[in-house]
Amino acid sequence: MAKVAILGFGREGQSLFKFLNNPDVVVLDKKTDRNYLANLSSFDVVYRSPGVPYNLSEIQTAIKNGVKFSSATKLFFERALPVLRRGSGKIIGVTGTKGKGTTSTLIAQILKNSHQKVLLAGNIGISPLEILPKLDKNSLVVLELSSFQLQDLENSPQVAVITEIFPDHLDVHKNVKEYLDAKANICRYQKKSDPVFYFAGNRPAAKIVAQGSGKMIAVSAPDNLTKNHLLAAAVARHLSCSEKIIQSTLKNFNGLKHRLERLGAVKGIEFYNDSASTNPQTTAKAVSSFEKSLVLIAGGKDKNLDYAPLAKAIKASRSVLQVLLFGENKNKIFEAIAGAGVPVRLCRDLEAAVAEAVQKRPEIVLFSPGAASFDMFKDYADRGERFKNIVRSLSI
């Protein structure tokens, strides 16, 4: 009998344990065992959770020793594709550095409004294994896929969608090339007739697309907040959705939580929660989207990224009155943006940053961290909810 282990026991690890339904499966997690990587070569099959880096030396050694590594995403593709090929069903995979959650949700909503059988899962917060029981041969599955889920994937979705790409997760990936190579698995194994949608002006996305053999469909879009809407619309049109339903869905879409989420006005100041921004490029774009005077709150856990794009955006903006930094990498960001021409102050924590922002009396307080959340919070959603609670307390 094969010895099976689950490596990492977060959301996907727990869904795997439930799906495998085998009491003999061993769970390996750093929260319960500091030496959880020590004996990987003693197993026949190891299911890796996306939070465990694929390039760890212990994993690579185990692979050389003949251990088979899989994941919830790989297992889903292996089980789902044979079913979908019997009918008109498809997997629509969406990846990118910025906008993949919004684009995935929009595509799924348009398809749902078009009375298609739609299942949404992946990095959006639902393990793909959870939707397998609902799958039939005509299902349209929209999967949001991160670089960590894609890195060892050996199948590509029949429809690939790539949002904006720029360097990210360099605290885990060895370099930008490894990051882009991981993303490229979304189209690497496509057939020539399989479409891959991407933004025409995004060079990293073009490099990714070039690694596959699918039908390249470049979408031209202005550099603004609606470009992911245009990408979702292009995919929906390809899937035969009517223009009327596409336009209606886009018009009524309120956006996702923690993504430039407007919280309303308190004491005459508008507050925006952009906690999902874990990258300097996404924060730079958020800053550039406002014309009213604003105070930016940023900082968090470092991912070995360059903050020059954020400095450039702040310098070019006429709106930024002040930048308030907190978190593990606040000093790094301070050094990067010190010459941008606006006052920059270091704060003890998020609460202190909000209190100081309010004293400046801007028209807008923008919370767009541009860094990961794990220095102080469980995840970006936990961080965003903390910001919301702080803002609510201001009105009391």
32-82 pLDDT per residue, tens: 999 999 999 999 999 999 999 999 999 999 999 999 999 999 999 999 999
Ranges of H-type helices in 223-368: 227-238, 243-252, 280-288, 308-316, 330-337, 350-359
Written as one string, the DSSP assignment of 12-33 is HHHHHHHHH--TTPEEE-TTT-
Q: How far apart are the first and last CA of the chain?
A: 61
Structure tokens, 181: 């190579």
Note the pLDDT of residue 225. Answer: 63
Is the pLDDT reported for residue 145 higher than 80?
A: yes
In tens, the pLDDT along 358-367 reads 999 999 999 9
Of 245, 279, 300, nearest in space to 99 by CA: 279
Between CA 183 and CA 166 the distance in angstroms is 11
Question: Nearest 5°: CA angle at 172, between 344 and 257?
Answer: 60
Is the pLDDT reported for residue 352 higher than 70?
A: yes
Is the pLDDT reported for residue 173 higher than 80?
A: yes
* Average pLDDT for 321-333: 98
Written as one string, the DSSP assignment of 214-259 is SEEEEE---SSTTHHHHHHHHHHHHTT--HHHHHHHHHH----TTS
At 320, which amino acid appears? V
Superfamily of domain 73-252 in the CATH hierarchy:
Mur-like, catalytic domain (3.40.1190.10)
Between CA 283 and CA 147 the distance in angstroms is 20
CB 137: neighbour CB atoms within 10 A? 12
In tens, the pLDDT along 190-208 reads 999 999 999 998 999 999 9
Paired residues of 198 in beta bridges: 162, 218
Note the pLDDT of residue 226. Answer: 84
Helix (H) or strand (E) holding 79: helix 72-84
Is the pLDDT reported for residue 222 higher than 80?
A: no
Residue whose pair of structure tokens reads 């507050």 in the numeric block:
271
| Three-state DSSP state, 89 | coil
Note the pLDDT of residue 204. Answer: 96
Question: Are 68 and 4 within 8 A, CB to CB?
Answer: no
The CATH fold assigned to 261-394 is: Protein-Tyrosine Phosphatase; Chain A (3.90.190)
| Three-state DSSP state, 310 | helix
Q: For 4-70, which CATH class? A: alpha beta
Between CA 63 and CA 41 the distance in angstroms is 8
Note the pLDDT of residue 166. Answer: 93
**Which residues have a Cβ under 8 Å from the Cβ of 53 and sit 6 or more positions away?**
59, 148, 172
359-to-47, 263, 281, 362, 386 alpha-carbon distances in Å? 50, 18, 27, 8, 20
Contacts 24+ apart (CB under 8 A), 226-231: 227/99, 227/164, 227/199, 228/99, 228/102, 228/103, 228/106, 228/163, 229/106, 229/253, 231/99, 231/103, 231/161, 231/163, 231/197, 231/199
Give the annotated binding-site residues: 96-102
Give the annotated binding-site residues for ATP: 96-102
Q: What phi, psi does 60 have (nearest 5°)?
A: -65, -35
Widest CA span in the chain:
67
CB 178: neighbour CB atoms within 10 A? 17
The per-residue pLDDT of the chain, averaged, comes to 96
Is the pLDDT reported for residue 1 higher than 90?
A: no
The strand ranges marked E within the chain are: 4-7, 26-28, 45-48, 68-70, 90-95, 118-122, 140-144, 159-162, 195-199, 215-219, 261-266, 269-273, 294-298, 320-325, 344-346, 364-367
Question: Are 286 and 368 within 8 A, CB to CB?
Answer: yes
Note the pLDDT of residue 396. Answer: 62
Q: At what angle do helices 243-252 and 227-238 cross, to 10 degrees?
A: 150
Domain boundaries, the chain: 4-70, 73-252, 261-394
Question: Nearest 5°: CA angle at 256, between 169 and 182?
Answer: 25
